[in-house]
Amino acid sequence: MKDAYERFVRPLLFSIDAEIAHRFTIESLRAASHVDLTLHALNPFQPPASPKKLFGLNFPNPIGLAAGLDKNGVALPAWAALGFGFIEIGTVTAKAQPGNSKPRIFRFPKQNALINRLGFNNEGADAIARRLRKLRRSSRWPEVPVGINIGKSMSTPLTEATEDYLYSFRLLREFADYIVLNVSSPNTPGLRELQGADALSELLSAIGEQNLISRKPILIKIAPDLAPSELDAIVSTCATNKVAGIIATNTTVDHSSIPAAQDEQGGLSGVGQQNLTARKPILIKIAPDLAPSELDAIVSTCETNKVAGIIATNTTVDHSSIPAAQDEQGGLSGAPLRGKSTALVREIAARSTIPIIASGGIMDADSAREKIEAGARLLQIYTGLIYRGPGLLREIAEALP
């Protein structure tokens, strides 16, 4: 029997414009993310634990939210409460942009498919960094890994793409457990040219160099024996010089707790700590429409640049499953993408040991299991969630080995 989502919620959502339904869903989850009682109400959707470790990260289960649903990172606590094993936000661009003109999302229920030509509509890296910083300081940051998918701003020429990606990377890396470089959306003109060996190598090399520069916060370790005026002066000086933190405290010269007969010169006990911004796993999201020679070049370039993983795949420009009279420009996702995406996962696994996250056509337990058997280590869902609802997470989790 169909669950409540497919019987009641989906018909209501599908009765209104696709983008309005998407916005309503995201705003509802955004509101829920601020209310503990509502977050707890989402917990029954959570699938059973099936821990995985990849990229040095711990995933409570292998089912992630694909980029595109929460472009601006507004509902992270709600996605975690629903039971996603990891959450990928974006695609985020260096510049805020409205995306392509509307209408730009189209449903095809008979095919269990969507076509979108959104065009990386998002608030931009600066605004999203501010939002994530605020969330990180709260008690609501999710305990599951958070990935950030970054792409090229539409107004940035391809010749300046690398610096465009670097701008977003520098701003967002501290909030991400992993970073995805989206070079495969069909909805930003020329973007897929960045999958070419030379362009991809240039981008990966630049990101790799930046990723080696671990930002080292400067901290001051102070004594516990300061007078109030001394402490005021130290705090003021630290604030002026943008010191990242204060370690309080070093050892004390107050030995009053030690019997005089046993006392020794020196500092009495002390504990310090250190913190670094770690290197981030860098992943590439690729198109499903690659020729074998193009895939060979991408895999080779990823291996040379020590890419942590490949997300296979983005949407497809192959619309052969859609009746010509109903077709729309954009990227096709959903059930028709299943075979093409699985084939690419299998081809990558045959060529390389680079870990694969499968995304594309995962609509039920069988299609999820098919991806794992083809060589995927983790999964991401998007269109499947729209058609099947959050109950899909448990269905998949219970069917996987």
Residue 352 annotated as catalytic: no
CA 299/CA 141 separation, integer angstroms: 34
Closest CA to 140 of 223, 76, 97, 84: 76
Candidate list 185, 333, 341, 359, residue with the active-site label: 185
- 300 Rama sector, left if φ>0, alpha if ψ -120 to 50, beta otherwise: alpha
Torsion-angle region of 214 (φ positive above 0: left; ψ -120 to 50: alpha; else: beta): beta
Q: Is the dihedral of CA 294, 316, 55, 275 positive or negative?
A: positive
| C-alpha torsion sign, points 123, 126, 132, 137 | negative
H/E stretch holding 41 reads helix 36-42
Tokens of 253: 């010269």
Q: Is the peptide bond before 224 cis (omega within 30 degrees of 0)?
A: no
Give Cβ neighbours of residue 209 (< 8 Å, ≥ 6 apart): none
Check: CB of residue 248 under 8 Å from CB of residue 222: yes
- Tell me the catalytic residues: 185
